[in-house]
Structure 1
Amino acid sequence: MTPIAIGRMLYGGSRFSRKLINTSRALTSGLWHTMINSVMLQTQAGIKCTEKGVYMPPCNIYSNYLEPPHLVYLIHRRYSTCEKTSTQILSKLFPQTSMELDDEASRDRRKREEEEELREMERAWKRMKIGFGVFGVGGVIFSFWAIYFFGKPSLDEQGNEVTDEFSSLPLVKQYMARTFKSLNHFQRFIQEPSSQKLLPDPLQAPYVQPPYTLVLEVKDLLIHPDWTYQTGWRFKKRPGVDVFLRECSKYFEIVVYTAEQGMTVFPLLDALDPSGYIMYRLVRDSTHFVGGHHVKNLDNLNRDLKRVVVVDWDKNSTKMHPGNTFSIPRWSGNDDDTTLFDLISFLSVLGSSEVDDVREVLQYYNQFEEPIAKFRENQRKLCEQMQADEFEKLSKPKPMVKNWSRGFMKP
């Protein structure tokens, strides 16, 4: 889009608003036109009745103050003015329906309007050029300052320049190369985690290292944020959080891994977990920024991925390792939620079964729309099978010789 087209568009907005106002006035005049016609019909009816010898006053509020001849003259003058005004407005909005005569005065008036529009477009174009000029000059000045600030060589404690890989290049190339290096470093700082080793090495004897690692999201999984005008921000605990952390700590090394800021998460976790079941806390600076999402990269956890379970509701945050993810519904703050109690049963069975690779189990349950419901169904079937086996074992008849020998040997 050219600058002239932009100027016409900006100026056309004001013209359109003026035409809209004139149209509303024309519609109002139309209402006056309807009312006046009705009054004139009533007045004419009154005059005809007077000619016949019986005068019937018109049914109008003005009939108490004006005689019919004066009323007719006033209405005719008002109707003529409204008709002329509405015709002019419609002629401006729709030039093809104009009923004005092509006389000298009309041509002069149209010429003056066109000249005024051209002058307004020129003024808008001048203002636009001034704005572009100021913006361009500011951008050039800022670019030179950024190249000088980020491209200058580093200094040591004595104030001497430190020799780097760009010191042998010409001066301009030195500054440009250092600037691009700083920009790339800043980009990596945003997109990549602050460290390639987010957790320390596993504990060695005599300390006890849990056999599995449980990675949890905090927002809408353990707590739910709520904001109102009266109370501001409040955070609600999910039903069963305390029991969930206590039971899972028996089999898992619990790690909170979230994309929230640390200054928000750390005080909440201090209040949520006073017993210290959560061993490590990872926040936004430990995530990868990929495709507009903060993604949790489990490769940086410094743990064997065969023994890492991630519980989360957002699949975008765990898309790098979907095989290690166990998805549950997002909690919206309702008090009748029982998801964590069901999750305790699943994780307890997983931890006590000594599974070598948890990804096989998680992959099986992730193929269902509701993994926890499928786990409950499997547990019910297993319990029924065990009860049936036990009943069959008890109902099986024992050999008579064995029963007799056992009774004979008793004292």
Structure 2
Amino acid sequence: FYTAEVTDCILNDTLLSIYSSSLKKPRSCNIFKALFCCLRGAQDARNPPSPSQDALLGPQDNGDVVKLSSGPSLLPEMTPQDQGKICVVIDLDETLVHSSFKPISNADFIVPVEIEGTTHQVYVLKRPYVDEFLQRMGELFECILFTASLAKYADPVTDLLDQCGVFRARLFRESCVFHQGCYVKDLSLLGRELHKTLILDNSPASYIFHPENAVPVVSWFDDVEDAELLHLLPVFEDLSQAEDVYTRLGELRAP
């Protein structure tokens, strides 16, 4: 029953809990939510998505590693204003927003996406505190959007979400490495020093090549009481001062 992704997520529950000492609010409920979301993912894997969803999410198989990117690095040279800052790779779906092909009455955005000649409406909910989170992150880090979704969906969503231009660059599915049925975000391809790079993502499979660079976040769907992004800000404010993210994350992991 347990897939590799579920196993990875269970193992990373421990990593989720390491930040509790930096936060004022207990995170135990969120850890259980993280496990639930992974188990839900395993159940969803047994139920094939609709054709439109499949077109956005892409095929899944157990093939070998396939690098979909090309060129010496995925990112341009760091701008003068970001010199000396840590690079933070930030996921989109279930980290900052949740999207659905089914109508949502309180959707923050409705984005038309054309798939195989047919236009579909994608209903997008913003995670609570996402605006405050992105504003502060843009002050502290060089922020890069990196999503395994298709650009035809993710680009217009990001246009609406990031109206202040926090993200210095956007990377989509074609920049991922396809590995054992998952789109993995290989940080070594970014063109940034790995000891000065972090990744914020709800899916452990996305950072399986670099788990030591990860700040896990609980998957979000529609919980209006969620405050995960707000609670993570003190952690990132701490990490923004680190000379080496491995050292600082190691200290946070220590009992």
**TM class, shorter-length:** 0.5 to 0.7
Greater relative contact order: 1 or 2 (C-alpha under 8 angstroms, separation 6 or more)? 2
- Structure 1 distance, partners of 2:104, 2:164, is 32
What TM-score results when the alignment is normalised by the length of structure 2? 0.64
Count of aligned pairs between the two proteins: 178
User: Secondary structure of the residue that 2:101 maps to in structure 1?
Assistant: strand
Q: What CA deviation, in whole Å up to 9, does each residue of 1:53-87 have, x standing for no partner?
A: xxxxxxxxxxxxxxxxxxxxxxxxxxxxxxxxxxx
Contact 2:73 2:189 in 1 (8 A): yes
Q: Which residue of the other structure, out of 79, 82, 96, is the alignment partner of 1:203?
A: 79
In the alignment, what sits opposite 2:19? none
Aligned to 2:95: 221
Specify the alignment match of 1:147 in structure 2. none
Supply the AA of the counterpart residue of 2:76: P
Equivalent runs, 1:47-126 vs 2, <5 Å = none
Report the alpha carbon displacement of residue 210 of structure 1 after superposing the two structures with TM.
5.0
Look up the SS of the partner of 2:144 in the other structure: strand
SS across alignment from 1:360: helix
The one of 178, 181, 185 equivalent to 1:296 is 185
Whether the 8 Å CA contact 2:64–2:179 is kept in 1: the answer is no
State how far apart, in whole Å, the 2-side matches of 1:283 and 1:341 are: 26
Q: How many Å apart are 1:230 and its aligned residue?
A: 7.9
Instruction: Give the root-mean-square deviation of aligned CA atoms.
Output: 2.4
Tell me, in whole angstroms, the C-alpha distance in 1 between the residues paired with 2:148 and 2:197.
19
Does the 8 Å contact 2:128/2:226 carry over to 1?
Answer: yes
Aligned mates of 2:145, 2:254 — CA distance in 1: 25
Write the letter of the residue equivalent to 1:317: S
1:280 to 2:149 alignment: no
2:69 to 178, 193, 211: 193
More strand by share: 2
Instruction: Report the equivalent of 2:111.
Output: none
Aligned pairs (5 A) from 1:319-330: 319-330=208-219
Tell me the residue number matched to 2:245: 358
Provide, for residues 296-323 of structure 1, a one-character-per-residue CA deviation record: whole Å limited to 9, x for no partner.
Answer: 1111111111111111111111011111
The one-letter amino acid of 2:79's match is L
**2:181 equivalent to 1:258:** no
TM-score by length of 1: 0.41
2:223 to 334, 340, 345: 334
Equivalent runs, 1:26-45 vs 2, <5 Å: none
Give the Cα–Cα distance (whole angstroms) in 1 for the partners of residues 147 and 82 of structure 2: 26
Larger radius of gyration: 1
Q: Deviations 1:195-216 (Å, cap 9, x if unpaired)?
A: 3310112234xx4525111111
Name the CA distance, whole Å, in 2 between partners of 1:356 and 1:364: 13
- The offset of 1:363, in angstroms, is 3.4
The DSSP-based 3-state class of the residue aligned with 1:256 is strand
Query: Match for residue 175 of structure 1?
Result: none
Structure 1's 279 and 199: CA in aligned 2 closer, same or farther, altered over 3 A? Answer: same
Letter in 2 for 1:228: K
1:276–1:328 distance in 2 versus 1, CA, 3 Å: same
> Residues 191 and 208 from structure 1, CA distance in 2 versus in 1: closer, same or farther, beyond 3 angstroms?
closer
CA distance in 2, matches of 1:287, 1:230: 30
Q: Distance in 1 between matches of 2:229 and 2:181?
A: 30
For 2:75 and 2:201, how far apart are their aligned partners in 1? Answer: 19
For the 8 Å contact 2:176–2:184, the answer to whether it is kept is: yes
From 232, 249, 253, give the equivalent of 1:343: 232
- What are structure 2's unaligned runs of at least 5 residues? 1-62, 106-120
The answer as to whether partners of 1:240 and 1:340 remain within 8 angstroms in 2 is yes
CA distance in 2, matches of 1:323, 1:343: 17
With over 3 angstroms needed to count, the CA separation of the structure-2 counterparts of 1:236 and 1:366, relative to structure 1, is farther
Paired residues of 2:95 and 2:220 also in contact (CA < 8 A): yes
Query: In the aligned structure 1, how far is the partner of 2:161 from the partner of 2:123?
Result: 13
Aligned pair in 2 of structure 1 residues 230, 317: CA closer, same or farther (>3 Å)? closer
Alpha-carbon contact 1:195-1:286 (below 8 Å) kept: no
Conserved 8 A contact 2:92-2:146: yes
Q: Which 5+ residue runs of structure 1 have no aligned equivalent?
A: 1-186, 369-411
Distance 1:229 1:237 in 2: 15
1:355, distance to aligned residue in structure 2 (A): 1.6
Relative to its length, the structure with more helix (as a share) is 1
* Kept in 1: contact 2:144–2:168 (CA 8 A): yes
Q: Which runs of 4+ in 1 moved over 4 A?
A: 187-190, 229-232
Counterpart-to-counterpart distance in 2, 1:210 and 1:244: 21
